[in-house]
Amino acid sequence: MGMQPGQASHVLEEAARFAKLLSAPLVVVHVDVTRFVTYEDPDGYVHSAPIDLNIEAGAAEFDEVQAESATALQGSGLNWTARQLVGDPALAIKQLANKLDAQLIVVGTRKRGLGESIREFFTGSVAARLAHRQHRSVLVVPLEESVPDDQPEIWAE
């Protein structure tokens, strides 16, 4: 499961529920997107991004993900681990899923708002990219209440 600090707890709860249903261990993954210079999409398009010289920021985010996971999964009896990856979230999660031969990938939807809409326009949806670029099932869990069909998402608060 892909996780960000402060992510809605029900995404982790759904991942834990499916791990139990599948009798599989849960791997909670945080991807530090600030720790790469360039990467290449499977279609060959090369991207680049600035390096964040504050390496501690990624470590702090991973610590937060681990703490949130430990709190949420305490007493669940579930076998789980946390891993930190770097680079593009969709590619990093795909590669780890291949390495672990994961049965299912769980991610949350993005937060609503203009800033997230702009970010997604430039970087694309992690869930959509995962669904199109690998063979595993992807469970996309809504982070919050859905946007009414008659309300454009870009104006949601």
Q: What is the CATH number of the domain that holds 134?
A: 3.40.50.620
- In the structure, what pLDDT confidence band is assigned to residue 39 with cuts at 50, 70 and 90? low
Predicted confidence (pLDDT) at residue 69 exceeds the cutoff of 60: yes
Is residue 77 included in any domain, yes or no? yes
Structure confidence by residue, pLDDT tens digits, 71-81: 999 999 999 99
Mean pLDDT over 89-111 rounds to 89
Distances in whole angstroms, Cα of residue 123 to Cα of each of 6, 12, 56, 120, 154: 21, 24, 24, 5, 16
User: In angstroms, how far is CA 5 from the centroid of its own chain?
Assistant: 10
For the chain, what is the domain count?
A: 1
pTM for this one? 0.74
Structure confidence by residue, pLDDT tens digits, 11-22: 999 999 999 999
pLDDT given at position 157: 44
Rounded distance between C-alpha atoms, residue 91 and residue 41, angstroms: 8
Rounded distance between C-alpha atoms, residue 26 and residue 40, angstroms: 28
Top pLDDT among 36 and 136 is at: 136
Rounded distance between C-alpha atoms, residue 81 and residue 35, angstroms: 21
Per the prediction, the chain carries an average pLDDT of 78
116: domain range? 9-155
**Which residues partner with 83 through β-bridges?**
29
